[in-house]
């Protein structure tokens, strides 16, 4: 009798425990309630937590170009200002020369590409962006956003450098708020007195063609392809070579954004229209149009004689011809 009573009691207890576990499990698995009240569904929660995600994806590439170009401008213009302004004994003892300028600009392009390369490709130069769209299937729809971001990055970078050095500029210029072409060249580029506009155009055309030619070479898997993490080092060497060997005539703009962004800044802070009227609109032909054309010419040369990739312009033509002949 006792054993039968014990068995019945155990069966009833086990049924109650299973019901309790089932109820507890149901409550714990419910997506919208807990002991503190209603909860959001997982999709609603993800939407609330990641509302910025979709916007960030749309802005990520242009933001990388903005940041990379801003760093390029900060370090490049910064070394210009430090080397030149410190030559005035009322400002400081000398803190740089042409060697430091070439090294500073080399570091500037390397850091700019290191920051942006893995996200946007690290163009940080409208001439490079246009060349990549023309010769490497870079999406044309991205070109306007890239160029605008690069221009704004250069403008903001120039503003940061100006804010850092404006007291030294006052001393160098000889008075508070005085701004002349004597220091405008620290921000945007101007041809040397001895060189004609035609020669200045050729200098910028040549330097940019070499820059793009090397970029295509070091990113070509059929050539001496450089690992992505070491590409900035290759550009560091390239930029030092251009600055040291070809930079004296015009100040090696070779980047329309790097010149126009700071030029806009100078016209805002007191340099006036002189930065645009210099040599009859020099600013349009030499630091803007010449780099665009030079970049196209450098890419044309590389693809014509060296590039065998499937995405090359001439490679596509040869492929279509092969197909036609095969048919």
Q: Are 205 and 63 in contact (CB under 8 A)?
A: no
Q: Are 145 and 61 in contact (CB under 8 A)?
A: yes
Give the pLDDT of the chain (327 residues) as one tens digit per residue: 445 545 544 554 555 455 544 434 443 444 444 444 455 555 555 555 688 888 899 999 999 999 999 999 999 999 999 999 999 999 999 999 999 999 999 999 999 999 999 999 999 999 999 999 999 999 999 999 999 999 999 999 999 999 999 999 999 999 999 999 999 999 999 999 999 999 999 999 999 999 999 999 999 999 988 887 899 999 999 999 999 999 999 999 999 999 999 999 999 999 999 999 999 899 999 999 999 999 999 999 999 999 998 887 787 555 444 433 333
Cβ atoms within 10 Å, residue 284: 13
Specify the pLDDT at position 316. Answer: 58
CA 72 to chain CA mean position, Å: 8
Specify the pLDDT at position 324. Answer: 35
Q: Are 68 and 121 in contact (CB under 8 A)?
A: no
Specify the pLDDT at position 313. Answer: 77
Cβ atoms within 10 Å, residue 83: 19
DSSP 141: G
Nearest Cα to 76, choosing from 209, 222, 242?
242
Specify the pLDDT at position 43. Answer: 55
Nearest Cα to 131, choosing from 312, 320, 316?
312
- pTM, full prediction: 0.83
In the chain, count H helices and then E strands. 14, 2
Pairing of strands 33-34, 37-38: antiparallel
Specify the pLDDT at position 133. Answer: 97
């Amino acid at each position: 009798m006792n054993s039968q009573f014990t068995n019945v009691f155990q069966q009833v207890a086990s049924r109650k425990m299973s019901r309790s576990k089932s109820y507890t499990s149901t409550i714990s698995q419910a997506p919208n309630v807990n002991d503190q009240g209603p909860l959001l569904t997982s999709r609603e929660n993800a939407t609330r937590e990641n509302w910025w995600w979709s916007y960030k994806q749309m802005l990520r590439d242009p933001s990388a170009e903005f940041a990379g170009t801003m760093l390029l401008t900060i370090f490049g213009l910064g070394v210009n200002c430090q080397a030149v302004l410190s030559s005035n004994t009322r400002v400081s003892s000398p803190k740089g020369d042409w060697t430091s300028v070439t090294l500073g600009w080399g570091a500037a392009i390397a850091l700019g590409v290191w920051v942006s390369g893995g996200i946007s490709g690290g163009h940080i130069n409208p001439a490079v962006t246009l060349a990549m769209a023309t010769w490497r299937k870079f999406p044309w729809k991205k070109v306007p956003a890239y160029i605008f971001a690069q221009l704004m990055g250069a403008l903001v970078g120039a503003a940061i450098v100006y804010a850092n050095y404006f007291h030294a500029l006052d001393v160098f210029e000889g008075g508070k708020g005085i701004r002349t072409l004597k220091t405008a060249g620290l921000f945007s580029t101007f041809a040397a007195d001895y060189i004609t506009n035609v020669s200045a155009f050729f200098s910028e055309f040549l330097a940019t063609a070499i820059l793009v030619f090397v970029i295509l070479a070091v990113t070509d898997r059929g050539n001496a392809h450089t690992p992505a993490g070491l590409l900035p080092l290759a550009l560091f060497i390239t930029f030092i070579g251009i600055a040291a060997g070809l930079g004296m005539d015009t100040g090696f703009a070779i980047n329309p954004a790097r010149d126009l962004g700071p030029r806009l800044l100078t016209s805002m802070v007191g340099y006036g229209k002189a930065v645009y009227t210099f040599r009859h609109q020099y600013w349009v032909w030499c630091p803007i149009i010449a780099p665009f054309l030079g970049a196209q010419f450098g890419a044309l040369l590389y693809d014509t004689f060296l590039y065998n990739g499937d995405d090359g312009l001439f490679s596509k033509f040869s492929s279509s011809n092969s197909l036609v002949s095969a048919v």
